[in-house]
Structure formats: structure tokens, C-alpha cells
Structure 1
Amino acid sequence: MKLAKKLTAIALGGALALGASACGSTAPSDGGNAGGEVTLDWSFWSQGDEGNQTWKDLAGKVTEKYPNIKVNLTTAPFSDYFTKMQSQLASGTAPCIVSMQSLRLPAFAKAMTPIDGDLAKAAGFTESEWEAGALKALQNGDKQYALPYGLSTMVMYYNKDAFKAAGVEEPKDGWTTDEFVAAAKKITEATGKPAFGQTFSDLHMSAQLLAYNGAKPVSANGELQMTDPAFESAFSWYTGLATEDKISSIPASSSDVPWGEQQFVAGNVAMAVDGSWNMKSNVTDAAGFQVGVVTLPQGTEGAGTFSANSGFGISSTCKNKTEAAQAIGVLTDAESQMASANAGNLPARTAAVPAFIEGLKKDVDPKNPGYSDQASVVTKAASESATPFISTSNWDKVTKLMAQQFQQAFSGKSTPSEALKAVQQSGAK
């Protein structure tokens, strides 16, 4: 999962959930014609030239292990992927192997097949070999609907040069929200511009609110709870970073969802929350300064960070589910995750994590000394404290409302309470 592929959820209508009747596969049915050739269509959002080639190579590994199975990978821009998937499921042309993001899973679960029983066995799935949080994020109703290829948590990136120039000590893992605000105020005063890049991007902002006081925008059973007292308290604090403390750069409009991250790499702010999926290249390559990474600052009742993972599942209309499970087993095995780690994805399998850190040491440390050591500490700490992000089945509608209403609150045109009530009233199912 790459950052700029922002979490703009596409809700899936009930009409597509069970109505499709065909699948992108040339073989007749599950288990039919044993030993016969099976071609499985596999859809994925574009990972860029390097990433796409990595996954094409891994598709070839499937055929090496199972000569009767061929995997045909097709990609689409992230902004179009879920809309296209919705249409494919509705028209009965869905691929057998579906790349799925945890935030979208509630809307798509009815159109997918749980990977359990014989399918789990076909995939070679052993739960103990995975990060528990990575698996949980791709479950729905206690069923595993996809096997993850990565573990994505939210962390804080900071500009080492800006901290040094302002005479502010660099943050350390375990730092507090009070320390974060104090550092931001000093840097803002020293530079004359806000130190923190604010956002209304769902996962980015919500993770910081969770770290502040344990607030969650959605309940454990998938109900929107924007007016929950804890969430309102955390959101008021977050909004106050801009309206009262004057230490945050706010999105210019409701369409500027990735504002904080973009302002950070441009050197306009000294800190921004972003995902671990950007840890290898997107941030460090784009920034013209020394980059540091640290855990999210925690309040006295802070609850760590949110995680949101991506993985591969099987469409409910796939006619070759066993072969699809076998293919997914190869695409997510330890060897494949090591290859994926080299392309920048923090692995979901514990055995592949060292390969990710070694990749940072090789590719990032030469121009950003010590970065891999920081990343090693942060990824471990963030993984241990991560809570899978739960979304509603109409999350696309909710995120649009958040962008519209929260931009007004950040700019002081409405109160935090008014903005939250507006989202709750229009976004509740």
C-alpha cells in the first residue's frame, strides 16, 4: 500500500454483493479437471513501475510452484481501482484474486470468500507466522477474508534539519502530546510558519486522535460515533492546534486530503503523520532534508496507533477457489514478502521484517544516516500498539463529509462540535 493511494473508500452497494455469476478464470469449476490448466485473473492497484514488476515476478512464482496455474495480473490507478471492482462484481466479471484494503473490506466482504477450512489449508496458512494485527485488520465477523502482504501503521515523520535549526531536541519514541505541542510551538516561532501539517485524511487524523485519548470514529460493531465524548474531546484538541495554538498548517480546501504529507515533503512543515508504507522511499526520496521517524505522541489516555492493511482475497464467484487460495499462498509466503519488502512494503510475516529493515539500511541510510535504526524501533513499537482501523460500510460517504466539515472547523468557520454533528447526522447509516 503506497501513500498517495489515499484512503478514499468506495462503498459497495448491496446489489453487487451476491448477484454476480462469473469469474475471471478460464477453467470450469473448483476442483474440476484435476491437473488441467487454470488461468486466474488478479486485480491490483498500481504500485508504480518497480512495484508492478515485483508483483508480476511473484505471479510467475505461482506457476513455478503450481505449473497448472497461471496468474494474469492487471492494475488500475488506486483512485479508480475500487470503483472498477464495484462494476466488475456487479456485472459478473470480477477477477478470482481480489486485492483488498482493510478500510474497504466491510463494504466488499459479502462479495468475497472467507479463507478458512480447506482454502486456508490450500493457502498454507499458519496463523502463528503472521503479525496478529495484520491478520485482524483483514477480518470481518471473525472470518479471514484476505491474507495480508503488508502491515501498515501510522507514524510521525519529522524534519531533522528544522529541529536542529530551531534548537529543539529531536523526539524520541514514547514522547507525549505535550512534548509534541511544545516542540511545534518552538519551531513555529523560530521559522515563522506552522510546524505541523494537519489533515482530515481518515486514517492519519484518526490515528493521532487515538494516540491522544483513545478516541475512535467508529464503534467496534461498525457504527459511526463522531459525537462520542472522547472523540469530540480529541477532535477539539486537534482542531485547536490550528485555531488556538497556531502551530498547524491546514488544508487549503476539502480536496486537499493529503495536505500534511505533501507539505512535509515540500519542506513547508517540520512534522506530519503518515503511514509506514512510505517509510522506504516516498518520504525520504521526495524530501530535500534529513528525515526522522518516530512513534505518534501519546496523551495520558493514548492508545497507540491505528493500522490498516492490504492483502489478497478470493471473489465469491470465482470458479477456481482452491487454485486461487494456492496462488495467494505463494503471493504472501515469506519469500514473496521479502521481495515485497525490498519494494518498500513493511511485511505482515514476522520472518520477512528483517529484509525490510535491511532494505532501508541499504537504500536510505547512505543519504539519511541512522534512519534504518529509527525505523526498526518504530515499526516494532507501532506494531505492538496498533489497533486495526474499523470503518463503516458507507465509509466513502463519511470521508467526503469529513473533508467538507473538518476543513471548516480547522479554519475556525465552524466549531468542532458543529462539524462532528454534521458528519454524524449525514453519515450515520
Structure 2
Amino acid sequence: MRRKKWWLSVLVAAVVLVMSACSSSSSGDGKQDGKTVLRFATWDTGDTLKIQQDIAKEFEKENKGVKVQVEAYGDGFDQKLAASFGAKNPPDVMYMWDFSTYYQSLEPLDAYVKKDADLKMDDFYDGLFNYSKVNGQLYGMPAGFSTMVVYYNKKLFDKYNIPYPKEGWTWDDFKAIAKKLTDKSKKQYGFGVTAEPDTYDLQGLVWSNGGSFISNDGKKVNGVMNSPETVEDIQMYGDMVKDGMAVLVGGKNQQSGSDIFKSGKLGMYVSGIWPIQGFKDAGVDFGTVEMPAFGSKPVKGLISSSSISIAKDSKQKDLAWKFVKFFSSDKAIKMRTADLPVRKSVVEETKVMDDPLYKPFYTMLEKASDTPAFLLNKNWSEINRNLPAAINAVMLGQKAQPLFDKAVKDSEKYVSQ
């Protein structure tokens, strides 16, 4: 989640984008070699960029006279996109995640969807649309997603004769297992806790205990961010580190959790879909399972999603929508092998759910009905400014309640601006 905005860099990026846009087209009317140019911006690199380029080529085959110009912004995606919006020269179509920041520069898609009954909106998982709507309007079609699950090392579980975790397990079960898997003499731990976590990634944990970082209407943090339920979740992680059954990962001078998991020294690790191929390549014998529950409370899923959107300033919105529709088709979804399929029909056809490694991601997707904090208040980046430091301090052994009370006090002034 990259929300940093350095205006000098944005200005430079804007100039570069304007110049590159002019040089990429042989005329000023959106034509290149006699073809209509449709600009598509992505954050992908490497193999995943190749997938987007292949999709663009397939669209061109079905739409003679169109050239899809894939613009790979990479790590500078947000910065370059902001610059292009500011220069009134955005790509026609782009990957999108931060709708609260950019929605005013995006074309609402509700009218397009309404005209296209063959799009079969009910074939998409409903929870995905919670992440691409602002004020009830749709600004992006789902492209890819991940939920958070628990990865567990089967070899370690077998060594200590611990049954593999199953759907319906609890945090009490989790802690008991983590304790059994810990052997400090071998630098082996039951669980890896991120030392400096992205607060976004903790929301599913917090929701599952009945807490939140901000009220559902986005207007309140006091009594929510510092509620007993919210504080209890974070304190639980800190206590696991303090009690020695968990190790801090991913902070300064610390190995990443995925690297420790690969080395066989970590029993359990919470993450999305991203490390799964790396674990396979490393030869780790592992499984995945849905997140534990707090007693009888329902487990809540958190989605990390990507969508595809249309710029409000695009001069060829109908063609842009045609590309978005193609990108949302079964054909294009099957081509995006780096993403989990977002259509139910594709999931059924490809039998993704039959693979026990991937099924928990969809189980958690079906439990994802809450809206993340950054979509509930336009000032979330300011509200959230003090929360990561408070969480980090808890992971280092301090008590959560006073830290969260202070975070609320420091954040309240931003809530209603």
C-alpha cells in the first residue's frame, strides 16, 4: 500500500509521462500506425507482466484496428498514476486498489455493467466488490485477490505428533500447537509474528474478535480502535512473542517469515497467496488452513484485491470498457495464472477448490464481508499514521491498551476533516 506523495517526484513523473505518451503515438489523435491506441497501466513486472501483455495481444486479435499499449509502472505505480491524473493524461485503463484516493479520477462502472447483462455479475464473488466501491458506486472490476490463511510445516507437525489443523480450530488451539512446536535451542518457533506489520493485514484478525480499527461508518475511532476486542487481538500476538512461542520476523535486521518458514524453523506463518510458489520451489512440505476463531465467534476474512478501472479523462471509454469486459472474461482469467480466479465458474472448471492448498483461500473469501478501513474514511492514511508504531511497540513487549489509547488521541483530529 503505497500512499506516499512527494510533489517534486510527482511533477517530474508527470513530465516524463506526458513526453512518453507523446512519443509513443505517431499522431495526436490517439492513433499509432493507423490503429486506435488503448493505454493500459499495470504494476506487474517479469512473468506477471508477460501475462498482461499476452492478454493485450488476445484483445487485439478480437479487435482489429486496436493497439493496446501496456505501460509497466512497476514499483512507481501509485506515483506515476497520480502524476498522470494530475497532468490530465492518464492511461485509459489501469490496475487499481486504492479507490479511496483515486475514485474521483475514475469512471463509475455501474451504467456499463447495467447495459451488459452477459457480464454475469453474480458469477463473481460478492466480497470482492466491497473493495472496489466508494459511496455505493462501482469503480473497478475484480482482477485478482488473496485472503490470509495459516501456512503450516507438515514435517514439524509430524515430528511432534501434532494433528494437522482443520477448519473450525481456535486461537487456543493455535497457541497450544505453537508452544509444542517451539524449541529455542534449535532456534525453532511455533509462529512468526511480523515485527512492523502493515495494519491492513491485521484487520481480519481484529474483525474476527468483534473489533475494528474504525467504525463501519468511518466516523469514529475512539472506542473502536482502542476497544477491548481490538486490543486483545494485538496483545495476543505480543504475548506469544513475549512467552517465546513466536519469533519476530520481517523487521530491521530480521529474516522474513517466508524465509524462516522455508528453512524449516517455523511451524506456522500467516500470509496471503504470494509465498506459495516459493515454498513449493524450496521443497517445503506444507499445508494451508483457514484462520482460527476466537472461541465461538465467526472468523472474518480479509481480502487483498486488485481491480481494473477506467480513467474518467479517457477519450475512448467505450473501448476501455470493452477491454475491461474482456479482462473479466473466463478466457482472460484463465490466462492470469499468477492470480486466484475471481469467477465462480472458472474456479469450478479449473477445479482450484479441489487442491487443499488453495481451498482455504476461497473459504476465507466466503467469510469476507467487512470493508477495510482505508475505504471507510478518505483520511485513513493520516488516521493510521500512529497505529503501526503502537503495534510494533506491543510486539516488542509493551502493553497494548495505553498505546492504542494514545494512537486514538493522536488520530481523532483527522477523522472528520
Q: Deviations over 1:208-264 (max 9, x none)?
A: 2333x1322233233554223321222222222222x321212464697x9434433
Indicate if the aligned counterparts of 1:198 and 1:250 stay in contact, CA closer than 8 A: yes
Q: Percent identity?
A: 21
Cα separation, 1, equivalents of 2:106 and 2:199: 24
In the TM superposition, residue 53 of structure 1 has moved relative to its aligned partner by 1.0
1:382 maps to which residue?
364
In the TM superposition, residue 355 of structure 1 has moved relative to its aligned partner by 5.9
In the TM superposition, residue 206 of structure 1 has moved relative to its aligned partner by 2.4
5+ residue gaps, structure 1, are 1-6, 361-371
Give the count of matched residue pairs: 389
Greater radius of gyration (CA): 2
Secondary structure in structure 1 of the residue aligned to 2:119: coil
5+ residue gaps, structure 2, are none
The TM-score normalised by the length of structure 2 is 0.82
1:369 maps to which residue?
none
2:104 maps to which residue?
110
Indicate if the aligned counterparts of 1:62 and 1:330 stay in contact, CA closer than 8 A: yes
Indicate if the aligned counterparts of 2:203 and 2:213 stay in contact, CA closer than 8 A: yes
1:419 maps to which residue?
403
Match of 2:119 among 101, 114, 125: 125
Cα separation, 1, equivalents of 2:238 and 2:349: 39
1:365 maps to which residue?
none
Q: Deviations over 1:185-216 (max 9, x none)?
A: 000148553311112222332222333x1322
Secondary structure in structure 2 of the residue aligned to 1:421: helix
Q: Deviations over 1:275-325 (max 9, x none)?
A: 13544x14432x442111000011122432211210100112111111111
Code of the residue aligned with 2:309 in structure 1: it is: G
In the TM superposition, residue 28 of structure 1 has moved relative to its aligned partner by 8.6
Match of 1:218 among 193, 214, 220: 214
Relative to structure 1, the CA distance from residue 263 to residue 120 in structure 2 (aligned partners, 3 Å threshold; closer, same or farther) is farther
Secondary structure in structure 1 of the residue aligned to 2:146: coil
Relative to structure 1, the CA distance from residue 345 to residue 105 in structure 2 (aligned partners, 3 Å threshold; closer, same or farther) is same
2:60 maps to which residue?
63
Code of the residue aligned with 1:131 in structure 2: it is: Y
Cα separation, 1, equivalents of 2:313 and 2:6: 16
In the TM superposition, residue 153 of structure 1 has moved relative to its aligned partner by 1.1
Secondary structure in structure 2 of the residue aligned to 1:41: strand
Indicate if the aligned counterparts of 2:148 and 2:361 stay in contact, CA closer than 8 A: no
Q: Is 303-312 or 289-298 further displaced after alignment? A: 303-312
Relative to structure 1, the CA distance from residue 77 to residue 173 in structure 2 (aligned partners, 3 Å threshold; closer, same or farther) is same
Code of the residue aligned with 2:399 in structure 1: it is: T
Match of 1:172 among 166, 175, 178: 166
The TM-score normalised by the length of structure 1 is 0.80
Q: Deviations over 1:328-381 (max 9, x none)?
A: 1111211110111xx2311111122246656x9xxxxxxxxxxx6313531332
Relative to structure 1, the CA distance from residue 171 to residue 417 in structure 2 (aligned partners, 3 Å threshold; closer, same or farther) is same
Cα separation, 1, equivalents of 2:210 and 2:280: 30
2:376 aligned with 1:391, yes or no? no
1:339 maps to which residue?
335
1:4 maps to which residue?
none
2:280 maps to which residue?
284
1:237 maps to which residue?
236
